Amino acid sequence: MSESRAAALRSLLFASSAAGMLVAAPALAAEVPAEDGVVVTADQQQQPANLGTINVNGQLKKREPQSPEFVAPLLDTPRAVTIIPQQIIEQTAASSLQDVLMNSPGITFGAGEGGQPLADRPFIRGQSSGNNIFVDGLRDTGGQQREVFNLEQVEVIKGPDAVYSGRGSGGGSINLGSKAPQLNEFTNIGASVGTDSYLRGTIDSNMPLGETAALRVNLMGAQGDVPGRDSVDYDKWGAAISLGAGLGTPSSMVFSYYHLTSDQMPDYGIPLFTKIGVRTTDSGILDVPYDSFYGVKDRDYLTNEVDTFTFKAEHRLNDVATIRNVSRYSETLNDYIVTNPGDGGYVGRAADGTYWMKRGTKTRWNPVTTLANVTDVYGQFATGSIKHSYDVGVELSRERNRNATYSTYTTSGAACPTGLTTVSGSRPTAASALGADDCTPVYSPNADDAWTGVINRGPTSSNTTETIGVYANDSITLTERLILNLGVRWDQYSVSGVNATANQSAGVWTTTGYTSVPKRTWEFTNYQVGLVFKPTASSSVYASWSTSSTPPTISAGDQNASGGTGTGDLANTVLDPEDSESFEIGAKANVFNDRLALSAALFQTTRKNAAILVDVGDYEQVGEVEVRGLELGVSGSITPAWTVFGGYTYMDSELVKGACTVDNTVTPPVCTPSAFEGDSLANTPEHTASLFSTYRVTRKLTLGGGVYYTSDSFGGNQGGAGGGNNRVFAPEWTRVDAFASYDLTDRASLQLNVKNLTDEEYIIRTNGVHHADVAPARQAILALNLRF
């Protein structure tokens, strides 16, 4: 971490603590009884907003999706939707999107490989959904590792949801709800310290500016090491400013600015058995110590930067219609050089039997600029005895995505031992793109190896994506017990680009040319139909059908792709979008006086139209995968003192139709059916479960914790379905977290989190070909939380 950033973080933590000293003294407010016998102070009753997402009885507040596209309450929406509230984000000491989504079973994260950057890559119901992340209803583009300091809640929609989100993978989407200005005054401060050099400070201050205006400011600074990965550190800071006018009136406007800068040592985990050619574990992950780090501190880095400007205007036209417009301009940068332990291209064995590898790199310079605008008209009206809750809207967006790689030509690095016996690859010469020796032992790598070399950014390729979406959703109350939910959306999706070509010599790029990729345009229409029956006012059962379309530039797996053509005999053919459809039946109920929400769903999602090899030289769009499963969810309070949040997901995934395999040893060559048909999909574990629960033992003391479980999960990019030729998988794991909080006063509390309490060693994900990512080890975090 730079001295200036370290000083800035220390200042933020000092300011947090100093401000807290002004309010940490015990308040003199009288205690009054509340509902259900819970005692709260009069001051707490007067300022419930200061408690985040907890009501005055310590219970979870009911949350609803923020977007007007949800035309019915969650109870009456015929979809599996999980809303993770701010209370869970804070109580679990989450700092990243991956931390938050551990609380939503059925979601895993993919490794940064196969054209994908080092960025958030959530998989929902077996489908890569990295392009389906939204902030306040607008698509959040660009490769990022997202922070949570400015989040009010996280909404997860499961299954094909094109009527809500437009083009996508068919697995679902994630919407991040930002903190917004309010008309009551409050300031929340958090200052945290922990093991592994953990420091984090946050300030959330809301300041009314008259009767209908307010300013909200959120600040964050953090630094630390990744537990169990001693060489992997980070420092980051963020700011979010939101100014609202006309709040609480028929006409309101909110202007928001968000910034995040994150610098860290990137981590590509540990190698697979393919590195040495000998399978040393059943999973195929090499049996090296889990703290092994193969990067070079003198060279590797990862920088994420985000700047986002958002303007929202809303006006109530009459009792039937409200118009809402949201515009956004954003710039993101994903910039890194990372050592890939599986891509060195050369492994040798010394006379003493030790394995040595030459370090290889993955690099990316990827700035993205986005301009987006969404206009909605929504409201309610009646046609006779039939009631309608509707939303119609138009979405326009333009994204420019640039991409380049770096040379990492080594002029001086750690020497490779002489006389190595080649295990894999061929020993690079000084004339190669990698340059001189840069070796490290496979079983005991040294991140402190000295390195000097030439780092130049190569020529830039780019693509521009333009979209138009028109949609309508209607929740039709036919009778007191029967609701029909209808949705339709038409999208036009266009991509054009320029690809750069270059040669590299001794780390210096020479541009050889630029090739324009013609503009390709796809149009597709998707639907949702759902029927809801309400046995009681607080329960529902439903059945729904929904679809989604995935343009080939997205299904190709690289967010920088353009062109949309196939391979082989489809090289000059523009592919059709892949199509997903889902059937889902489920039930929801709010029980215990609406304190606790329960849900259950059975689903089947099928994705078709993937381009695969069906015969020698013959590709067709007939590839198909299927995921069937069960999902259970629970959220809320069992008693006024006992809160729970979590669920369970079972997924039975299958490659239904895969590519055939060409046998060139016979004449003529023969293409035999895929041997992987029937295999489960990558990043799709059969069982996932999570449960985070707290219990207020006394008026001041709350105890709790979380349990998280994931069964075996195949890695991706293995040439087949989940397992492929290598059959590499991340073994099952169970993680236990502990939580405790103690109220020092009615305005100050201490919170202790111990993550991975049992110090479980496990793999969070694996690429399947090159590397496996090690999960963080045990970490303890102590926070002082203040509110006034």
- Evaluate if residue 7 carries a pLDDT over 60: no
Q: For position 109, what pLDDT does the model report?
A: 86
Task: Output the DSSP codes for 53-112.
Answer: TB-TTSPBPP---SSTT--S-GGG-SS-EEEEEHHHHHHTT--SHHHHHTTSTTEEE--S
- Residue 166 — φ and ψ, nearest 5°? 80, -150
Over the chain, what is the mean pLDDT? 88
- What does the pLDDT read at residue 519? 92
Residues of the chain with pLDDT > 70, as a percent, come to 88
- Enter the pTM of the model: 0.90
- Long-range pairs for 47-54: beta carbons < 8 A, 24 or more residues apart: 47/184, 47/186, 49/182, 49/184, 49/186, 49/206, 50/186, 50/188, 50/787, 50/788, 51/787, 52/86, 52/87, 52/90, 52/188, 53/85, 53/86, 53/87, 53/152, 53/153, 54/87
Average pLDDT over every residue of 536-547: 97
Q: Tell me, what CATH number does 242's domain have? A: 2.40.170.20
Task: Report pLDDT for 61.
Answer: 58
Tell whether the model's pLDDT for residue 764 goes beyond 90: yes
* pLDDT score, position 720: 47
Query: What's the pLDDT score for residue 67?
Result: 83
64-92 b/e (C-beta count within 10 Å ≥ 16 → b): ebbbbbbbbebbbbbbbbbbbbbbbbbbb
pLDDT (tens digit per residue) in 141-191: 888 889 999 999 999 999 998 999 998 878 899 999 999 999 999 999 999
How far is the C-alpha of 645 from the C-alpha of 89, rounded, in Å? Answer: 11
Q: How many separate domains does the chain show?
A: 1
- The span from the CA of 467 to the CA of 472, in Å, is 17
pLDDT above 90 as % of the chain: 70
Has residue 55 got a pLDDT over 70?
Answer: no
pLDDT in tens, 99-111: 999 999 989 988 7
Q: Does residue 54 surpass a pLDDT of 60? A: no
Look up the domain containing 358 and give its range: 3-787
Confidence check: pLDDT of 33 > 90: no
pLDDT-based confidence at residue 492 (cuts at 50, 70, 90): very high
HEC readout, 596-645: EEEEEEEEEEEEEEEEEEEECCEEEEEEEEEEEEEEEEEEEEEECCEEEE
